[in-house]
A and B are shown apart, each in its own frame.
Chain A
């Protein structure tokens, strides 16, 4: 499609909606402080490469202060507080997220590179909803199925990734706080700003000092937090590689652990699928958030008898995607989060070509500055190729064909990951059969990438363990009576 006649004019969201400080300290014990033994680093806007702000890097002493603050708050305030009072703090936070939603959305798009339409319509509303949902559990833990008087774990050290910075913060903090724990949060180094704005919101909500602490920094800060003996619980979302490192690091320490790691989700489309909606689901599955999604449907398993037509329809649909300024309300595909991630995507895409797959990319205009990768589809992909097995974490789809449902299952499950899967068919019994056999923590049938605070999310196998969302999400933050 040429879009020659109806060219959408720029429709930029106003950047001035949010005010970004030139420099941020660490949020410890309810106030802002400079790092004691860490330095500073800068966070950039990946769509323009401009510097957005200077951010503190927490050194080991800073992490220690934060953990101590969390411990004090746990023992003296939060751990003593009745659930229904904790609930009211969390409801307040939820409301404020709704009130300040526009600011948060703009900030998130600037710092992360994702389109404003996504941060506005998905990230921020879901974050608010998460706080709202878990607020309601805070005084009902006795009914949650973990015993009549379930106890929190204490201090939670939480390390989150850069793909959904605010949402991941909400996924971690809301259940932990509802269950009565206090938290030390370490946002990703390329996307610290929305967590820091969240800290301001906690201040505005009068959340008692030390209940949530934010220590910005990079891998070393995260490692220091994970290793700190004062942390009772470690929660990590990120790559499988780092997840394993963390699991090794807490071995023998008695610390509780939950991991939400990578994936290589299979999206299975049968010949009786509602095809237009399947195309939407495929697009949503791998190009939403620039493919920076652990549960992305990065493998399209197309039934061979419709594969060609499906790929044609997919390419036609992809040619209507708009890549560009994340703050433009009509942008569909934003920037890649960092030069490192861009390099990784390019390397894997190159391997696809080298190993014999056929590469096609949407003809997007690439802006001069910033990190960009147009939506790309590989066909003639063999299951043994790297692009079929390794997580790319970018807007790259690998298309593999199958002949029978059993073959589809075998190929879908032929991975060490197990986070998500999709199945498209109009036949009800087949939908349920496939869903029951796919080894994935989340199965989307005739839809994709749907999230809700009431819906448990997490992986099988090397995609991690533990669930976030729903009643199940409380398990990670309560004592299970097993010492495990």
Chain B
């Protein structure tokens, strides 16, 4: 699919049906309500596709979808969420070659490197799938208070998270931002890499076939500098992941986040090695700790 500008394959002699790249909102693939699109080129400069150019209204719709989905997703069992993430790994594995082609074109890396990236993405999903029913055991506690009370702390998902996917690592980076957010029960609106959005939309198709409830993940493509401020200022977004924030925008995004005291995860400098084991920091960042007291008596 990626090689749209090449001549029809000599062997089949048929014209390829090009994919239309739309947004992924609420489990389906709508066009941008603005009707706009922008051209995406490969790392080598070849035209790849016209991709939907999301507007602020699309952000609004995506947040609405995420908010609608989060209560049920957060209320689902950890077991179920683990199952869903694992299914996504299965689906991604099944489309390994296709995704690798897309990543290679987007990032200008070799086929072998691209396959590694996809493999690591699958493994990343598997890793997080195994976390869903363990977060509470690692981050929760029964607290020994000095009185006749039973007191426990549990991690809860923060709610709706707005994220800016890493700009260069078009698949592995995205998966590394997406999975830790949703594994604990959050819903996500993520803006894909601006120049390398196609693997993100392939991933959207993977997610759409993974029993992920509609609205839990929403992926938007477009100009990050245009969409990020909308997410950052949106009062129904609870937290932000600024991993893919454009240079010079961090301060204003963090400032906008203060409007409703969002938890904002800053872009790490230098960019992390997405291949490395992530640790629990990112996952726990998007949880809140709730502590409950109850007397113990007759």
Contact = CB atoms under 8 A, between A and B. Distances in A.
Interface in B123-153: 138-139, 141, 143-147, 149, 151, 153
A450 B149 contact: yes
Interface string B244-288: 000000111111011111011111110000000001111001001
B146 A129 contact: yes
Interface string A430-457: 0100010000111111110010101111
Contacts of A248: 254-255, 258
Interface in A281-305: none
Contact of A484 (B266, B280, B289, B292): B266
Contacts of A253: 251
Contact of B279 (A147, A261, A465): A147
Interface stretch (A310-318, A379-387, A475-483): A475-483
Contacts of B282: 482
Contacts of A462: 260-261
B268 A460 contact: no
B153 to A, nearest CB: 5
B35 interface: no
A480 B145 CA distance: 26
B291 interface: yes
Contacts of A455: 143, 145, 151, 153, 291, 293
A251 B255 contact: yes
B289 A458 contact: yes
A441 B293 CA distance: 11
B14 interface: no
A481 B254 contact: no
B285 A244 contact: no
Contact of B288 (A441, A452, A454): A441
B255 A450 contact: no
Contacts of A172: none
B295 interface: yes
Given A442-B290, A452-B143, A467-B289, A251 B252 contact: yes
A144 to B, nearest CB: 11
Given A259-B261, A452-B151, A484-B268, A447 B295 contact: yes
15 contacts: A240-B261, A244-B258, A247-B254, A247-B258, A251-B252, A252-B251, A442-B291, A442-B292, A443-B290, A447-B149, A452-B151, A456-B289, A464-B261, A471-B141, A484-B264
Interface of B: 138-139, 141, 143-147, 149, 151, 153, 158, 238, 250-255, 257-261, 263-269, 279-282, 285, 288-295
Interface of A: 129, 145, 147, 240, 243-245, 247-248, 250-254, 259, 261, 416, 431, 435, 440-447, 450, 452, 454-458, 460-465, 467, 470-472, 480-484
